[in-house]
Amino acid sequence: MKIRNSSKYFVLAIFAVFFTACVPTVKVAREANKSVPESFVDSKDTINSALIQWRQFFKDPYLNALIDTALSHNQELNITLQEIEIQRNEIRAKKGEYLPSVGIGGAAGVNKPGRYTPQGALEKNIEIIPGEENPEPLQDYQLGAYATWEIDVWGKLHNAKRSAVNRYLSSIEGKNFMITHLVSEIANSYYELLALDNELAITRKNIEIQSNALKIVKQQKEAARVTELAVRRFEAQVLNTKGLQFSIEQNIVEVENRINFLLGRYPQHIERNSDAFIQLVPQQLYAGVPAQLLQNRPDIKEAEYELAAAKLDVKVAKAKFYPSLSISAGVGLQGINPAYFIKTPEALLYSIVGELSAPLINRSGIKAGYLSASARQLQAVYNYEQTILNAYVEVLNQVNMMSNLEKSYDLKLQEVDALNEAVKIANGLFTSARADYMEVLLTQRDALESKFELIETKERQMNAFVNMYKALGGGWTN
The 10s digit of each residue's pLDDT in 438-448 is 788 888 888 88
Mean pLDDT of 104-111: 76
Pairwise pLDDT comparison (11 vs 157), residue with the higher score = 157
Kindly tell me if the per-residue pLDDT of 90 is higher than 60.
Answer: yes
Whole-number average pLDDT of the chain: 86
pLDDT in tens, 302-317: 999 999 999 999 999 9
Q: Are residues 316 and 231 in the same domain?
A: yes
One domain for residues 382 and 350: no
Comparing CA positions, the residue from 465, 122, 474 lying closest to residue 296 is: 474
pLDDT higher at 286 or 9: 286
Closest CA to 188 of 255, 283, 253: 255
Q: pLDDT tens digit string along 364-402?
A: 888 899 999 999 999 999 999 999 999 999 999 999 999
pLDDT at 11: 52
- For residues 161 and 233, membership in a common domain is answered with yes
Q: What is the pLDDT of residue 375?
A: 92
pLDDT at 170 over 70: yes
Residue 1 has what pLDDT? 43
Confirm whether 128 is domain-assigned.
yes
Q: Which amino acid is at 123?
A: E
pLDDT score, position 347: 76
- 121 and 206 in a common domain: no
**Exposure on the CB side of residue 416, measured as CA atoms within 13 A:** 18
- Taking only the tens place, the pLDDT of each residue in 286-295 is 999 999 999 9
Q: Report the SS3 class of residue 375.
A: helix
pLDDT exceeds cutoff 90 at 75: yes
Instruction: Say if residue 106 is in the same domain as residue 160.
Output: no
Q: Which domain holds residue 139?
A: 101-151+324-357
Question: Once rounded to an integer, what is the mean pLDDT over residues 351-360?
Answer: 78
The answer to whether residue 478 is domain-embedded is no
Q: What is the DSSP letter of 324?
A: E
**5: pLDDT strictly greater than 60:** no
Instruction: Give yes or no for residue 339 having a pLDDT over 50.
Output: yes
pLDDT, residue 2, reads: 46
Query: Are the CB atoms for 217 and 437 separated by under 8 Å?
Result: yes
Q: At 97, is the secondary structure helix, strand, or coil? A: helix
292: which DSSP letter?
A: G
CATH code, domain with 438: 1.20.1600.10
